[in-house]
Amino acid sequence: MGVCYVGSYCFQPLKNSTNDYVNFTWGTRYLLDGAQNGLVGSRDQDADKFVGWDPRDPNSALPGGATANYDKRMTADYLDFSGGFSFDVIELPGGDLGMYVDAAYREETLDWQVDALAGAGLIIGGNGGAGGIGEREVSSAYFEMVVPVMDNLEVNLAGRYDDYSDFGGTFNPQVSIRYNPIESLMLRASYGEGFRAPTLSDFNQGISEGYDDLTNYVKCYEDGDDIDSCAVREEAPTRTGGNKDLDPEESETMNLGLVWDITDNIGLLWITGS
């Protein structure tokens, strides 16, 4: 909670919090890659060569020795400090020019551990998950200005700078304008830039291998079958994991609109954006 004094000055005290998230997963999966849910697949046909189990033969069985337990644990720690204050700068024809500034500091730590069995890729259909370890520090600064140029014209300016220890800094501005040429008509426009930083998992997660089920439209096309009703299902090997070369996702937004109170009971709202 902030503290406001007589006049126009406010102070937002520093806040700090530590959150600890722990996720624990335990499961039993088959060790060998040829026995998943009793389904016949391209790799299941050869399973009987290794374990004596054939998914096409209901009298065969999977030996108990081909099962195993595995576990994986993920811990994420966050430490946040932030504080800001607002004040009036000067008086303009439309009112006081108000400004707000803010600063923040954050630490993030990721510790995602899997046991040797899962890490070695011995779990059916994948390696049971891949671990990763990483940490980062984030420093941020933010400002916002409300500029009442005239009674019928207001400009809002804002900007935010974030510096990440693991991929660098980024500045993202925003500007919006509101104009009332007449009392019943309001025009407004805005422009802004944004970004989403890669998470610690995006950067540091290890490689996980598995199989994804898909529809083979190419096969249906080659066989002359109807594409819309294609039922040829296959499994394709996949590899997923983190990438330390990732950049932040960036965006631009633009909006233009008007609000027109034609009469006391009839109004018009029009907004377009990208």
Tens digit of each residue's pLDDT (9 = 90 or more) over 6-46? 333 333 333 334 444 344 444 433 333 333 333 333 344 44
Classify residue 158: in a domain, yes or no. Answer: yes
Contact of 14 with 103, CB cutoff 8 Å:
no
Greater pLDDT, 114 or 146: 146
pLDDT band at 117 (very low <50, low <70, confident <90, very high): low
Residue 59 to residues 55, 181, 210: CA-CA distances in angstroms? 9, 84, 28
Region 200-208: mean pLDDT is 81
97: exposed, middle or buried (Cβ count in 10 Å: 0-12, 13-18, 19+): middle
- Other beta carbons less than 10 A from residue 90's beta carbon: 8
Radius of gyration of the chain (CA): 29
For the cut 80, the answer to whether the pLDDT of residue 253 exceeds it is yes
Region 134-142: mean pLDDT is 91
**Structural domain harbouring 155:** 3-206+241-273
178 Rama sector, left if φ>0, alpha if ψ -120 to 50, beta otherwise: beta
Contact of 243 with 179, CB cutoff 8 Å:
no
Classify residue 230: in a domain, yes or no. Answer: no
Query: Is-above-0.75 flag for pTM?
Result: no
As a whole number of angstroms, the distance between CA 72 and CA 29 comes to 13
Query: Which letter does DSSP use for residue 7 in this model?
Result: S
Contact of 48 with 66, CB cutoff 8 Å:
no
For the cut 50, the answer to whether the pLDDT of residue 260 exceeds it is yes
- Write down the pLDDT at residue 78: 74
Classify residue 220: in a domain, yes or no. Answer: no
Classify residue 182: in a domain, yes or no. Answer: yes
Q: Domain tally for the chain?
A: 1
As a whole number of angstroms, the distance between CA 197 and CA 248 comes to 5
Contact of 82 with 102, CB cutoff 8 Å:
yes
Contact of 117 with 44, CB cutoff 8 Å:
no
Contact of 20 with 26, CB cutoff 8 Å:
no
CB-based contacts of 263: which residues, under 8 Å, 6+ apart? none
The residue written with tokens 């802004």 in the block is 192
Classify residue 229: in a domain, yes or no. Answer: no
- Write down the pLDDT at residue 192: 95
Share above pLDDT 90 across residues of the chain, in percent, rounded to a whole number:
24
Classify residue 127: in a domain, yes or no. Answer: yes
Classify residue 213: in a domain, yes or no. Answer: no
Classify residue 51: in a domain, yes or no. Answer: yes
Find the length of the chain: 274
